[in-house]
Structure 1
Amino acid sequence: MATATHEAKLRTSWIWMAVFAVISLIGGVLALLNPFAATLAATLMAGWAFAFLGALQIIQAFQVQGWGGFIWALLFGILTLVVGISLIFNPLAGMVSLTLLVAVLFLALGVVKLMYAFSLRPVAGWVWVLLSGILSLGLGILILADFPWAAVSVLGILLGVELISNGVLFLFVALGLRSLNQ
């Protein structure tokens, strides 16, 4: 009985998934049409998230003031808050910093994926991990090759691709949930 109730609730939620899909797809297309605006928005969102988390960390640090790690918790909160404020009040410099971080992340992930692929070599499908590693390395190199100019668009393009990917995912889930109605 619980399964039937759960399935009925799932069936009725397909419209919400379809709405999420449309919103995500529109957001992704808009981000790809104007990567600079999307990069700026992503930087500002990251700044506000860091500022909020830093403020919460500072409050939490004072709530456990007698603890031996109080100073470290407080410093962590202050640094996080400073990063957030820096991104909010100087988003162009933040775009450069975040883009450099993304490039380094792609390079590191690429190396790790290549090593992982070679360790998987006897396993079927290891080539896909190898290709993913090469792609990550290539993306990191492409970003660094066009640095700092890449900073005005890379984050927005990545955001657009992620939103479109999520939109497609939500669309397929919505269609699957809708087919439960039949």
Structure 2
Amino acid sequence: MITLVGMDSESIKARKGRVMLVGVCLFLLGALAVSMPFMASLAVETLVGWLMVSAGVVQAVSGYRERRQGRSGAGDFLWALLAAMTGIILLAKPLSGVVTLTMILSVYFVLEGVFKVFTALKLRGLVGWGWLLVSGVLSLFLAGLIWHNLFAAAWGVGLLVGINLLFTGATLFALGLRLGKESS
């Protein structure tokens, strides 16, 4: 729901078609993840692994450029090594990586839930703001489920990401529908 942060009611109304389209896309991705939670968990973990390797490469290039300009690139190279090694470990040990990502995902859901609740309260006068509030509370609930059993992570990451995508997509679509009725 980060997509609505910083937008006022008029900005959201002007983008109601886009809000609904994003909602449908997120809902479909969520349905796919829920239908294959283990595969979704591995996909998320693999994506994060490759992102970390890529971040390491970018950081190494930055360090190389710093050294060519006569500055110490030691910090860049250390961060590059850390990022690349983290990515390689995630790619080499996907199930262990899924457990780690489960913990990180829990923190993400807490932050997302807090942002959704605050955004909903900010948009309280807008028709459909309650859907955003429910979605925020659901994100906080999902964070609690994760911490309840971290070792169910092999399927849990994909399932929880899927549920979150389903509800976020449904929330955006419902908000867009309500905005359409409000304009009429």
Normalising by structure 2, report the TM-score: 0.63
1:44-102 deviation digits (Å, cap 9, x = unpaired): 1111211111111111112222334x212211111101211222343233223323555
CA 1:180–1:159: 2 relative to 1, 3 Å: same
Correspondence for 1:27 among 9, 26, 29: 29
Instruction: Give the alignment partner of residue 51 of structure 1, picking from 49, 53, 74.
Output: 53
- Structure 2 CA distance, aligned partners of 1:168 and 1:136? 16
Letter of the aligned partner of 1:26 in structure 2? Answer: L
Q: Tell me which residue corresponds to 1:40.
A: 42
Match of 2:97 among 76, 94, 106: 94
Cα distance in 2 for residues equivalent to 1:75 and 1:82: 11
The alignment-based identity, stated in percent, is 27
Indicate the structure (1 or 2) with the bigger Cα radius of gyration. Answer: 1
Residue type of the partner of 1:17? V
Q: 2: distance between equivalents of 1:98 and 1:8? A: 34
Note closer, same or farther for the CA distance 1:180–1:142 as it changes in structure 2 (3 Å cut).
Answer: closer
**Residues in 1 aligned to 2:20 and 2:146: alpha-carbon distance in whole angstroms:** 34
Contact 2:103 2:146 (8 Å CA) reproduced: no
Corresponding residue number in structure 2 for 1:157: 159
SS in 2 for 1:153: helix
Unaligned ranges ≥5, structure 2: 1-9, 115-136
Quick one: distance in 2 between partners of 1:25 and 1:94? 26
The one-letter amino acid of 1:87's match is L
1:143 maps to 2:166: no
* 1:111-142 superposed Cα distances (whole Å, 9 cap, x missing partner): xx9xxxxxxxxxxxxxxxxx99x968853552
Please report the RMSD computed on the Cα atoms of aligned residues, expressed in angstroms. Answer: 3.5
Kindly provide the amino acid, as one letter, of the partner of residue 52 in structure 2: F
2:48/2:87 contact within 8 Å kept: yes
Residues 63-74 of structure 1: pairs in structure 2 closer than 5 A? 63-65=65-67, 66-68=70-72, 70-74=73-77
Q: Tell me if 1:79 matches 2:71.
A: no
Q: Displacement, 1:151?
A: 2.2
* Unpaired runs of at least 5, structure 1: 1-6, 114-130
Distance in 1 (alpha carbons) for counterparts of 2:175 and 2:36: 28
Contact 1:58 1:74 in 2 (8 A): yes
Which residue does 1:119 correspond to in 2? none
> SS of the counterpart of 1:67?
coil
Q: CA deviation at 1:181?
A: 5.1
- 1-side partners of 2:142 and 2:50: how far apart? 28
Q: In 1, distance between residues paired with 2:174 and 2:24? A: 12
Tell me which residue corresponds to 2:6. Answer: none
Q: Assess, with a 3 A threshold, how the Cα gap between structure 1 residues 101 and 170 changes in structure 2: closer, same or farther.
A: closer
Q: Between Structure 1 and Structure 2, how many residues are aligned?
A: 146
